[in-house]
Amino acid sequence: MKPLLTTLILVFSFVAGNAQINTFKILVQNGESEIQIGEVVTQLKKGMVLSGDFTLTVKEGAYLGLVHNSGHVLEIKESGKYDANDLYGKIEVTETNMIVTRYTDFILNREISEKAAGINYEIMRDFEPFSDSEVNLYIPGATELYGDKLALEWANESEFSIIRVMNMFEEVLLEERVEGQRTMLNLENENLKKEEILLVKVYQDNDVESKAVALKRIDHETRTQHTQNLNSLTSNISNSALLELISAAYFEDNNLLADAFTSYVNAMLLAPNVPDYRSAYNEFLIRHKLLKLRQ
């Protein structure tokens, strides 16, 4: 019996020890960075798992978005050398947030699946509107809405555009003149916050306009549930582009596409020099047939 007991103790010790192993997964990567394990030096790539003793060399202008196996996230924006133990020490593990790891895996696995299917969203490819006869808004024609902020963007260039937000009877509640092709609407505006259904249209010169986008606010009970989920999801993440990317994955998974788009835009704006965020934004637009590659 003693050999069996000794074997069981060793097995349980191994399992318990491995449960505490620190690992990082690379969710976002830009520029050149290397990992050194012993004498072996390897270039870092998105999706790579980092564990054990290692040293990272982050070169000038590079960026890393890391997800710890506890669900905590870590951004590395400064060049230099980073020891594994120093990085582990930055993670205060009070509890494991499996929701974060679920959505980081959701992001990486979707990208792997799309590449396997031959879909390749290159950052520098040209995109174009589906039509020049109407303004192409980057939001599906009808969607439910959770948040109080709404990113609006459109493909068609113009000296300026007029944004109109209307109620279900097409009475204008808010009108804005916008230069450029993007704006952020505050849906807590006094004229908007009590409306359950909002219609949004963009107008440009020569009577070119978008189709009306219908946005329906989710009911109080559903909103409360999403708030609880999001609070749990983001409890270990400070305000960052990584937070917006993970939130976007949550919204898209729950078919809250206007909110997902807003988070993709926020991620891109918070880290404008990191192509992965722009790529995630492009992927969303192509995936939902809101934009097409230029032929």
Q: For the chain, which residues make up each domain, given as ranges?
A: 2-96, 129-217
| C-alpha 146 chain-centroid distance | 16
CA distance 204 to 209: 6
Classify residue 121 by its DSSP letter.
Answer: -
HSE value, Cβ hemisphere, 13 Å, CA-based, for 257: 17
- Please state, for a pLDDT cut of 90, what percent of the chain lies above it: 56
Q: Is 198 exposed, middle or buried (0-12, 13-18, 19+ CB in 10 A)?
A: buried
pTM of the full structure: 0.84
Q: Tokens 């270990």 map to which residue?
A: 236
Q: How far apart are CA 154 and CA 145, in angstroms?
A: 19
Q: Is the pLDDT assigned to residue 290 strictly greater than 90?
A: no
How many Å is the Cα radius of gyration of the chain?
A: 23
**Higher local confidence (pLDDT), 287 or 59:** 59
The C-alpha atoms of residue 184 and residue 28 are separated, in whole angstroms, by 25
What's the average model confidence in pLDDT over 5-25?
Answer: 49
pLDDT of 13 higher than 90: no
Residue 125 reports pLDDT greater than 90: no
Superfamily of segment(s) 129-217: Immunoglobulins (2.60.40.10)
In the numeric block, which tokens belong to residue 10? 């060793």
- CA end-to-end span of the chain: 73
The gap from C-alpha 282 to its chain's centroid, in whole angstroms, comes to 11
